[in-house]
Structure 1
């Protein structure tokens, strides 16, 4: 028998991929009217800028990483 620690992180549901898919479809359909479009584009721009400034990362990798991070933050605040 195991006891659960109340300080242990809670198990998250496994709906990240369906939520991200629905969010991306909404962005694609509504364009700039969708509430997630501007934060995701801002994250992509910041990531691309950081990728351009850092010697190890190229700007396309930074763009994808920045957009992916902001999309994740929109789905899981």
Structure 2
């Protein structure tokens, strides 16, 4: 799962180069923080789906999956092909 978290952090850093280092942590909400806007969240999900071979359907866009970086990493890791 560490690789999924690293991919999330790298995506956020690339999308928001002005964010101070360390301002996004595992407990940072992707919904309520300034880390990503709504389009950024959609782009992140598509990026993670492609990178880790996870099929993302519209039910996956439940806000509970974006409670934190850690929550999203678990969500993606749980759906990765073996």
Higher helix proportion: 1
TM over 0.5, shorter chain: no
Q: From the CA coordinates, give the structure whose radius of gyration is larger.
A: 1
TM-score, normalization by structure 1: 0.29
Query: Larger relative contact order (C-alpha < 8 A, sep ≥ 6)?
Result: 2
